[in-house]
Amino acid sequence: MTAQTSAKRPPPAADIRPPAARRRARRPGFVTAALGLPVAFMAIVYAYPVGAMLLKSVTEPTAGFGNFTEAATDRTMWHVLWITVRMSAEVAVLTVLLGFPVAYFLARTSKRKARFLVLLVVIPFWTSILVRSFAWIVLLGDNGLVTKILEPLTGDGQGMLYSESAVIIAMTHILLPFPILIIKGTLDQIDASLPRAARSLGAGPVRAFAHVYLPLAVPAIVSSGMLVFVIALGFYVTPALVGGPKQSTIAVVIAEAVQVNFDWGMAATLATLLLILATALTMIVRRLTKVKGLVTL
Amino acid sequence: MTADLITPAPARPKPPPGRRRGKRSPATRAERALGWALRGLVALILAFLVIPILIVVLESFNSVDYLSFPLEGWSLTHYREFFADSAWVDATLLSARIALLAAAIATVVGTAAAWGLARSPARGKGLVFALMYSPLVIPIIVLAMSYYFTFADFRVIGHWQVIAVAYSVMGVPYVLVAVSSALQQFDSELENAARTLGASLPKTLLRITLPSLTSAISAGALFAFVIAFDEAVIILFVSGTGSVTLPRKLWDSVRYDLTPTLAVAGTILIAVCVGLFLLSELIKILRERRERR
């Protein structure tokens, strides 16, 4: 529509090159600017701070790898790493176990129903992690709903707040939408006629599921589990709020290094190690499964 | 209906001709039982996802001064307390201001990058994409440390404008992905046609390209806003005393005293984010409807 007004004006007579060539000649400048300015922006306000932080791990307080040897020889650091890895692994396994049935159901049910039910998954996903952690403080506290329900079983009215199970439950709740949405994305693309073909060739429903359907879903299951694991490794809010001192994860120790000990070098070192670990795991998952990351837009 | 939960049956599960129903019924019964078991399980898991959020909302209407469930009684006392307390109101307004600025920056940067990536023939596009996308996968505590050190080095801790700029980085990947996927649907020949007819490139972008990207851009902008509005880790290190945002205030209060006023703050965070999310869904549905017509 709007192009019509400009169409009345003839192209400049001097330029006798075909339109395509003119386009090519004029475009690069604009495209370069469209790419260059965002890149410059990200370099200054994103890459620089991260780079400066990485640098601090080997310059603060003195130059060298002192921080790294200090971290590696500190036994509590190894314990923190073990707790972080163990809790992340537990959360990853739980979210996948709970996520798969939901994803399977959503992929098989009618479009309309799926659309509504996906909202129930995505709305918690967009609710702040802080609020969801707070929700579990309410639920698991001494006056909480879960505590009251479990009272006949446990015998006392004590909440399970500030324990490992509390952290696991809250983190599972927070990260569960990831496997659901990722696995559903893959299941949606599985050709529905494949399990049917298996059935018609004489396989029972269980066998058709286990031998035909499930193997096609394995890459999504593995990659979503790994994604949850990587995200859980860096979790701060939930272990800090819902967990006790025994549930100190790497992130909690990093924050303490800055806020309590004012040890920038150690904080930077641990953050560097966490970044290396997370990046390495993410790249391995990418290589292995080629399932893209999750942005549901 | 239930049978296709187990075996994806054809769209309309009519019994195939030449097969007697009686022969199939045992399998169907087992399948039906499995189907109901699956439904029950899925309902439980979805309840696990949704109930904690509902509890926060319900708790904000509690009539007593401590957190308890079931509620002792219904009242709006804590909403009154919240809006009478200038600290809470200021924190909410500050969060909105920061999120607005962060979303605006992220939208411009992300949209420009998406268009540049789609039109650029240059190599190294993968690297640019990785730079723009990586804020999504970097552990947030690592980002928090990076900003804390840099803010401290440049003595800008507590400046809300700088915080907004830092937050915009986290919104860029969302805008980038949204606009990139919309650009894939967009026929670049339309741009060429406009150019051939004599329109300048800026004019083409403004009149041809941007109008067809508006819903993707607005979706990306909404997500960038939400990310900045309820960011709760970086702010713990960079807020100083001057920039107490709503999540920061909520965090501080959770550590000191647990009252239903916190549930009001939580409910506001939920309402803003879920409201904006539903808005973006609505935009999507309206666009689909328009396209079908």
Interval B98-130: pLDDT, tens: 999 999 999 999 999 999 998 887 778 888 988
The pLDDT value recorded for residue B11 is: 46
**CB A177 to CB B41 under 8 A?**
no
The stretch A196-209 carries a mean pLDDT of 82
Same structural domain, B94 and B194: yes
Side-chain-side CA neighbours of residue A175 (13 Å): 30
- How far is A142 from A78, CA to CA, in rounded Å? 32
Kindly state the helix (H) or strand (E) to which residue B96 belongs, with its residue range. helix B86-119
- Closest Cβ opposite residue A130 in set B46, B109, B247: B247
Burial class (CB in 10 A: 0-12, 13-18, 19+), B189: exposed
Q: With beta carbons under 8 A apart, name residues in chain B contacting A31.
A: 116, 119-120
The pLDDT value recorded for residue B9 is: 42
Give A14's pLDDT tier (boundaries 50, 70, 90). low
- Closest Cβ opposite residue B5 in set A39, A108, A145: A108
- A275 contact B CB<8A: yes
Task: Give the CATH number, domain containing residue B277.
Answer: 1.10.3720.10
- How far is B117 from B138, CA to CA, in rounded Å? 22
Q: Which residue of chain B has the CA closest to A5?
A: B199
- Closest C-alpha to B137, from A41, A183, A98, A50: A50
Size of interface A-B (CB pairs under 8 A): 292
- How far is A15 from A22, CA to CA, in rounded Å? 8
- Closest Cβ opposite residue A141 in set B67, B173, B197: B67
Give the DSSP letter string of A71-134.
Answer: HHH-HHHHHHHHHHHHHHHHHHHHHHHHHHHHHHHHHHS-HHHHHHHHHHHHHHHHS-HHHHHH
- A119 contact B CB<8A: yes
- The two structure tokens encoding residue A188: 């949606």
What are the contacts of A206-214 at 24+ separation with CB within 8 A? A208/B7, A209/B6
Q: Which of B46, B141, B156 should be substituted to probe chain A, the one whose Cβ sees the most A Cβ atoms within 10 Å?
A: B141
**First CA to last CA across chain B, in angstroms?**
31
Please indicate, yes or no, if residue B73 is contained in any of the structural domains: no
Angle, alpha carbons A188-A190-A193 (nearest 5°): 120
Tens digit of each residue's pLDDT (9 = 90 or more) over A68-107: 988 888 899 999 999 999 999 999 999 999 999 999 999 9
Q: With beta carbons under 8 A apart, name residues in chain B contacting A135.
A: 52-53, 55-56, 266
Task: Map A126-167 to HEC letters.
Answer: HCCHHHHHHHHHHHHCCCCHHHHHHHHHHCCCCCCCCCHHHH
- How far is B87 from B249, CA to CA, in rounded Å? 8
The ipTM is 0.84
Same structural domain, B121 and B237: yes
The stretch A266-279 carries a mean pLDDT of 94
- Closest C-alpha to B118, from A21, A30, A290, A17: A30
Q: Which residue of chain B has the CA closest to A115?
A: B281
Tell me which DSSP letter residue A22 carries.
H
For residues A160 and A145, is the Cβ–Cβ distance under 8 A?
A: no
Percent of chain A residues past pLDDT 70, beyond the cut: 86
What pairs with residue B62 in β-bridges? B74
Enclosing domain of residue B251:
85-292
The position carrying tokens 């990306």 is B220
**CB B220 to CB A264 under 8 A?**
no
- Closest Cβ opposite residue A234 in set B131, B136, B142: B142
Give A285's pLDDT tier (boundaries 50, 70, 90). confident
Does A284 score more than 90 pLDDT? Answer: no
Please indicate, yes or no, if residue B229 is contained in any of the structural domains: yes
Buried b (16+ CB within 10 A) or exposed e, B80-96: eebeeeeebeebbebbb
For residues B79 and B60, is the Cβ–Cβ distance under 8 A?
A: yes
- The two structure tokens encoding residue B195: 């150019």
Same structural domain, B48 and B89: no
Give A149's pLDDT tier (boundaries 50, 70, 90). confident
Does A195 score more than 50 pLDDT? Answer: yes
Out of A153-167, A240-254, A270-284, pick the least confident.
Answer: A153-167
- A143 contact B CB<8A: yes
The pLDDT value recorded for residue A15 is: 53
Same structural domain, B25 and B121: no
Q: With beta carbons under 8 A apart, name residues in chain A contacting B10.
A: 196
- Per the document, the length of chain A is 297
Distance to chain A for B243, nearest Cα, Å: 18
Give A28's pLDDT tier (boundaries 50, 70, 90). low
**CB B113 to CB A34 under 8 A?**
yes
Tens digit of each residue's pLDDT (9 = 90 or more) over A210-255: 888 888 888 889 889 998 999 999 999 999 999 988 889 999 999 9
**CB A47 to CB B131 under 8 A?**
yes
Same structural domain, B53 and B94: no
- How far is A82 from A61, CA to CA, in rounded Å? 27
Please indicate, yes or no, if residue B79 is contained in any of the structural domains: no
- Closest Cβ opposite residue A130 in set B136, B216, B250: B250
The pLDDT value recorded for residue B157 is: 94
**CB B146 to CB A53 under 8 A?**
yes
- A44 contact B CB<8A: no
Same structural domain, B168 and B41: no
Same structural domain, B243 and B102: yes
Query: What is the pTM for the complete model shown?
Result: 0.85
User: Which residue would you say has higher pLDDT here, B261 or A22?
Assistant: B261
Query: What is A74-289's CATH superfamily?
Result: MetI-like (1.10.3720.10)
Give A20's pLDDT tier (boundaries 50, 70, 90). low
> How many domains does chain B divide into?
2
Distance to chain A for B118, nearest Cα, Å: 9
- How far is A133 from A135, CA to CA, in rounded Å? 5
Q: Which residue of chain B has the CA closest to A127?
A: B270
Same structural domain, B205 and B254: yes
The pLDDT value recorded for residue A125 is: 87
Same structural domain, B44 and B94: no
Burial class (CB in 10 A: 0-12, 13-18, 19+), A93: middle
- Closest C-alpha to A182, from A276, A289, A88, A86: A289
Same structural domain, B175 and B30: no
- Per-residue pLDDT of chain B in tens (293 residues, 90 and over written 9): 333 334 444 444 444 444 444 444 455 777 788 889 999 999 999 999 999 999 999 989 988 877 777 777 888 989 999 999 999 999 999 999 999 999 999 999 999 999 999 888 777 888 898 899 999 889 999 999 999 999 999 999 999 999 999 999 999 999 999 999 888 888 888 888 888 888 888 888 888 888 888 888 998 999 999 999 989 999 999 998 889 999 999 999 888 777 888 999 999 999 998 898 888 888 888 878 887 77
- A236 contact B CB<8A: yes
Give A18's pLDDT tier (boundaries 50, 70, 90). low
Same structural domain, B196 and B140: yes
- A184 contact B CB<8A: no
Same structural domain, B147 and B228: yes
Please indicate, yes or no, if residue B35 is contained in any of the structural domains: yes
The pLDDT value recorded for residue B68 is: 74
Distance to chain A for B45, nearest Cα, Å: 7
